[in-house]
Structure 1
Amino acid sequence: MQVFRGFTDNLPQGPRALAIGNFDGVHRGHKVLLARLRQAADRLGLPAAVLTFNPHPRQYFALKTGKMADAPATITPLREKIHALSQCHLDEVIIARFNQTIASLGAEDFIKKILVDTLHVEWLMVGEAFRFGKGRTGTTDDLEKAGHRYGFHTEILPAVTDMNGRISSSAIRLALEQGDFETVATLLGRPYTISGHIVHGDKIGRGLGFPTANIPIRHYNPILSGVFITRVHGLADKPLPSVSMIGTRPTIESDRHIMLETHILDFHRNCYSSLIEVEFLKKLRDNQKFPDLGALTAAIGKDVAAARSYFEKTPEQKLTE
């Protein structure tokens, strides 16, 4: 799978089958859409391509207006999104920077300049709720009509549902906010994880007796905040039990970038620069400011004890179901 950052000169100029969307989470509904894209591309002898946006358009407009409460929290950072898309048998992923240029394109200009003139779309698929163009004025009906004018076929995917209702990024965000990781895994079709390379920290956790593997959270608005029971993949033959904090550290400093800090139980190996994947299992508590480091140390000790109890009571078979 080739990944293109924007509409570069390296982007192949031939016709393609294309799906458009934010694909936040790359959940089971997205996978149905992408499977149909792959089938159509194979039938027509075309490359299967995805056009997605970074940042999420609603995050862009929220930042521009200063109304950050309107921005949806991100389920899947860009690294995870690209990795998940790479598992969907695609040929191309085109990541368009959502900026003022794209935001100001009217629906007809979006179709003509991007879909027709730049991407040479021959077959197009979007979800039934897809909207595009300045002010979100473009509809799926507009795409179908434009296809007749420009010679591409448009297929609209109805909402994908299961016994609990519509499978959507909104449903996943709600389940994550509630700490319902079983529902999240059902909707995603996989456990919820965050990955990244371990970086050097300020060694405060080590000084408190709880060394951590630190992953910086950059360029996106994470939906999770708090302390969680987790497992770490990538450092051993099997997942390692751990406790993780995601957020800032109000007890230690007031102005800090968001970090994912993971204490791996009974693990003492140097793992700086390693790429790990942290799987979230259960929320223990919200982040809070403690009166001093002694109180913070005691709270972390309780978190670790809770994690040990969890793993003792939860068989490995249950964790892998």
Structure 2
Amino acid sequence: MNTAAPLVLGDWRALPPALRGATVALGNMDGVHLGHLAVLRAAHAARPQAPLAVLTFEPHPREHFRPDDPPFRLTLLPAKARALGEAGAVLVLALHFDAALATMPAEVFFEAVLRDGVGAVHLSCGQDFAFGHRRGGDAGTLAVLAEAAGMGLTVVPPVADAQGPISSTRIRRVLQDGYPERATAMLGRPWEVRGEVVHGDKLGRVLGWPTANIWLGRHLEPARGVYAVTVSLPDGRELKGVSNIGRRPTLGGDPETRLETYIFDYEGDLYGQEIGVRLRHFLRADAKFAGLEELKAAIAQDAEDARTALAGL
């Protein structure tokens, strides 16, 4: 299967002829968790010689219909496409989700996008997949339409663990509750926040703990506090570190949540570059300290605790 970065397109009408006739995995795929990977495997297994494509939506439909909701995304499009490519997809159709797409009837979506646009030879989806205006189409609708078009369909049952079916909703919940290890188990990899390193107030440098700062932006905000992390650097290395997710109550508070990371045994300038911070273990909740000396001592203890927590990696 493919391991290279997939082609990402926002319009089904721009499909290169060589990628028509794909087998297509359907779904929002936020997080690209173990259940999503099962849908991709089913699509590939049905027609192994066909290109493997994923059809998803950008922005996430929930962002379109409820724009004032707090950010909830597990993966933004670049990270999602990267994970889908690692799972074998050569094409990610991240269809621009707007009013026109939102009001397209299910039958029209199937005919215009999947049949005529993509020329799909096989489809796969989860049991709860819904599509079309007001989610008017479901897996049953898809089965009828696919059969009439001479197209194969695999409906994949949920992948479950001891707590029940794995879902993006469950992963969001365990992250918000401070259990990144549970998220790792359901994702098949640690949850990662990717972003550009921005300039802060340099206080960490003054305290002796220089940090790489990134804004959470449209990512889900997990439990605020201190984490043992590993950091994916632009040069491909993965180093250990300690992160704080919060709004810095000791320093008067920030209007936005930031992720501050002290990377162990690293010296370099990361400003303006993209890094990925992978949450491994939750160490303690966010706290307000009496002053900078107390904060400095807490950071030193956090770093020691993070090194201990990461010793096995």
2:96 maps to what in 1? 97
TM-score by length of 1: 0.83
SS in 2 for 1:115: helix
What letter is aligned with 1:241? Answer: K
Provide the identity percentage: 34
Do the aligned residues in 2 keep the contact of 1:284 with 1:303 (CA within 8 Å)?
no
Superposition pairs of residues 178-197 of structure 1, within 5 angstroms: 178-197=177-196
What letter is aligned with 2:303? Answer: A
Give, in whole Å, the separation in 1 of the partners of 2:193 and 2:138. Answer: 34
SS in 1 for 2:137: coil
Choose from 44, 51, 58 the match for 1:47. Answer: 51
Residues 40/105 of structure 1: CA separation in 2 closer, same or farther (3 Å cut): same
Residues 184/138 of structure 1: CA separation in 2 closer, same or farther (3 Å cut): same
Do the aligned residues in 2 keep the contact of 1:80 with 1:194 (CA within 8 Å)?
no
Do the aligned residues in 2 keep the contact of 1:17 with 1:49 (CA within 8 Å)?
yes
Residues 279-321 of structure 1: per-residue CA shift (max 9 Å, x gap): 212334444666xxx6256335313313313423x463x3x3x
1:199 maps to what in 2? 198
Superposition pairs of residues 37-76 of structure 1, within 5 angstroms: 37-42=43-48, 45-63=49-67, 66=68, 68=69, 73-76=72-75
After TM superposition, which residue ranges in structure 1, 4 or more long, deviate above 6 angstroms? 235-238
- The answer to whether the aligner puts 1:303 opposite 2:299 as a matched pair is yes
Do the aligned residues in 2 keep the contact of 1:74 with 1:223 (CA within 8 Å)?
no
Superposition pairs of residues 256-267 of structure 1, within 5 angstroms: 256-265=255-264, 267=266
Do the aligned residues in 1 keep the contact of 2:228 with 2:307 (CA within 8 Å)?
no
1:103 CA displacement? 1.0
TM-score by length of 2: 0.85
The number of aligned residues is: 307
Residues 259/276 of structure 1: CA separation in 2 closer, same or farther (3 Å cut): same
1:235 CA displacement? 7.3
1:5 maps to what in 2? 9
Do the aligned residues in 2 keep the contact of 1:60 with 1:99 (CA within 8 Å)?
yes
RMSD in angstroms over aligned alpha carbons?
2.8
Residues 54/301 of structure 1: CA separation in 2 closer, same or farther (3 Å cut): farther
Do the aligned residues in 2 keep the contact of 1:229 with 1:284 (CA within 8 Å)?
yes
Residues 100/226 of structure 1: CA separation in 2 closer, same or farther (3 Å cut): farther
Q: Which runs of 5+ in 2 are unaligned?
A: none
- The answer to whether the aligner puts 1:142 opposite 2:141 as a matched pair is yes
What letter is aligned with 1:22? Answer: N
Residues 208/123 of structure 1: CA separation in 2 closer, same or farther (3 Å cut): same
Do the aligned residues in 2 keep the contact of 1:115 with 1:121 (CA within 8 Å)?
yes
